[in-house]
Structure 1
Amino acid sequence: MGANPLLPELEGRRVFVALGDSFTEGVGDRDERLPNGVRGWADRVAEKLAKARPGWRYANLAIRSKRLRHVITEQLEPALAMRPTLVTLYAGGNDILDLGTDMAALMDDYENLVASLAGTGATVVLFTGFDVKVSALLEPLKKRNAAYNQRVREIAAKYGAVLVDYWCLDAFHDRRMWDSDRLHMSKAGHKYLAGQVLDQLGVPHKIRPKDWDPPARLSLREWERRQRRWVNDWVLPLFGRKIRGITLGDALSPRWPEPVKVPRKGGLKKLAESRRADAGSA
């Protein structure tokens, strides 16, 4: 890959740092061979960067369930210390789902975070949120999501960030792009999004959308069965955690807390396997 104006090299360094919540951690793209049992679009982007130009180092500080305030207090300082040349940020989606969120204050904090990242000279990649059709119960939040997206677009333009306009990606209207909880992308969704990020950065790749047949129409009985399973498996446990004041990310650490050199062959799976082997021999 030749010189890419979207990915300037700062003092010869190539460091990619991913910040955020479950969206960036990789939830929905299961792989028990990798930290936290997931892979995700950010790992895939890191691997394609390393294949296109060797020497990239990668850290992923994202943890599921984190709010914007957690990203600021827990992830920003470590990210700045890594002196990144490429930063991706998606944060605020969990705040939108919290009923008491002050959207104006949230987006002011978001802008301050972006300003800090952009001030490093790194290429910053931002994302709008998608209008996930989970349930009619969440439709009142659509206005919040639209307000969030508009501010993200404005902030991206103001700070010269690369924008991945997730809201406009029609491929995600197919339910097969989503995991069984209906809130996180499936493996196919993560792969597709990785391709979109790489396209925005001008990085070559061979990721292609799934060539699916049209989705089968569900009978009323099958639809009701899926609804009951979704409520029992995801909705009730979610409300239970909210009542108890806990989240799925409370006991987790970042998947790649320090920049790792991404192997050109075998990618991050090879690195994870090597670490397990070293730990076993120790």
Structure 2
Amino acid sequence: MTSTAFTEATDPFCLAQADAVAMLSGAPWSRFAVIGDSLSAGTGDPTPGYRDQGWSDRVADVLRRVRPELEYLNVSEIGATTAQTLQNQASRMVDFAPDLLHLPCGANDIVRRRPDFGEIERTLRRMYDVAAETGALLTTFTLGRAYVVPVFPDWTERIVTLNEIVRGLAAEYDALVVDMWDHPINDRDDLVSADRIHFSTSGQAVMAAEVVKKLAVSLGRTASAQSPPRA
């Protein structure tokens, strides 16, 4: 684990807001929606030196500076499974008619004694089917290595299996994947919150930067602030 103390201004994986806005200048999205669980919500403890804001609100702020008329909907709920997301959030998302839509990656689907990965994939696919009907550009995450539930000895295998399902569905539905599984910030000893599950706001800032970079690439641009190589 690394212990170098960064601030948002010095963190090599963060983006200054002006740079993020420049990377997305002229972006077409004016209706940004987020559904899912606490990862979608951007839940996390404050980190000294970083703005106390989740990744999704950060991305909305950048998009709003690009397009002041941006409408933003985040109906994510802490603890929601994919099935609960479909049941409780999907109709509001469809009614909102997003042109940019972030989907959860099933983090709460695997916190059970014996997860059924076949059923998890089928439920995620139903969510993608509903999302695809909106015509929005879809984004999602993979889960990072720092997300650990020690009570399950096979936890790493669960994450790896779920991430592969997410990558496969994203490829099938042309969704952008922000891959956090092996991102270098997983090695930071101050990355996760007191609950040892959610990324603190330093991680939220980095995830927002990675989303902006991925959106910039989708616009045919090269991100101006690429992640430096791992030490």
Which band: TM-score by shorter chain? 0.7 to 0.9
Question: 2:102, 2:139 within 8 Å by CA — same for their partners in 1?
Answer: yes
**1:194 to 2:208 alignment:** yes
How far 1:197 sits from its partner (Å)?
0.4
Greater per-residue helix proportion: 1
Question: 1:40 pairs with 32, 39, 54, which one?
Answer: 54
- Normalization by structure 2: what TM-score? 0.77
**Which residue in 2 is equivalent to 1:251?**
none
**Which residue in 1 is equivalent to 2:36?**
20
Change in CA separation of 1:133 and 1:29 when aligned onto 2, cut-off 3 Å: closer
Change in CA separation of 1:208 and 1:187 when aligned onto 2, cut-off 3 Å: farther
Counterpart secondary structure, 1:143: helix
- Equivalence map 1:267-278=2 (5 Å): none
Change in CA separation of 1:57 and 1:30 when aligned onto 2, cut-off 3 Å: farther
How far 1:208 sits from its partner (Å)?
10
Question: 2:105, 2:142 within 8 Å by CA — same for their partners in 1?
Answer: no
**Which residue in 2 is equivalent to 1:110?**
124
- Segments of structure 2 that go 5 or more residues without pairing to the other structure are 1-23
**Which residue in 1 is equivalent to 2:78?**
64
Change in CA separation of 1:206 and 1:65 when aligned onto 2, cut-off 3 Å: farther
CA deviation map 1:233-261 (0-9, x unaligned): xxxxxxxxxxxxxxxxxxxxxxxxxxxxx
Counterpart amino acid of 2:40?
A: T
Question: 2:82, 2:104 within 8 Å by CA — same for their partners in 1?
Answer: no
How far 1:112 sits from its partner (Å)?
1.6
Counterpart amino acid of 2:146?
A: V
Question: 2:39, 2:104 within 8 Å by CA — same for their partners in 1?
Answer: yes
Change in CA separation of 1:179 and 1:57 when aligned onto 2, cut-off 3 Å: same
**1:90 to 2:104 alignment:** yes
How far 1:3 sits from its partner (Å)?
4.3
- Equivalence map 1:74-223=2 (5 Å): 74-132=88-146, 134=148, 136-202=150-216
How far 1:103 sits from its partner (Å)?
1.2
- Normalization by structure 1: what TM-score? 0.64
Counterpart secondary structure, 1:101: coil
Which structure's CA Rg is the greater one? 1
- Segments of structure 1 that go 5 or more residues without pairing to the other structure are 32-37, 215-282
Question: 1:125, 1:164 within 8 Å by CA — same for their partners in 2?
Answer: yes
Counterpart amino acid of 2:55?
A: W
How far 1:206 sits from its partner (Å)?
9.9
Alignment length, in residue pairs? Answer: 197
Aligned mates of 1:134, 1:2 — CA distance in 2: 37
Counterpart secondary structure, 1:138: coil
Change in CA separation of 1:90 and 1:133 when aligned onto 2, cut-off 3 Å: closer
Counterpart amino acid of 2:155?
A: L
How far 1:172 sits from its partner (Å)?
2.1
Aligned mates of 2:147, 2:153 — CA distance in 1: 8
How far 1:58 sits from its partner (Å)?
0.4
Counterpart secondary structure, 1:62: coil
Aligned mates of 2:178, 2:129 — CA distance in 1: 18
Aligned mates of 2:165, 2:39 — CA distance in 1: 19
How far 1:44 sits from its partner (Å)?
0.4
Counterpart amino acid of 2:133?
A: G
Change in CA separation of 1:82 and 1:136 when aligned onto 2, cut-off 3 Å: closer
Counterpart secondary structure, 1:84: coil
How far 1:42 sits from its partner (Å)?
0.2
- RMSD over aligned CA atoms reads 2.6
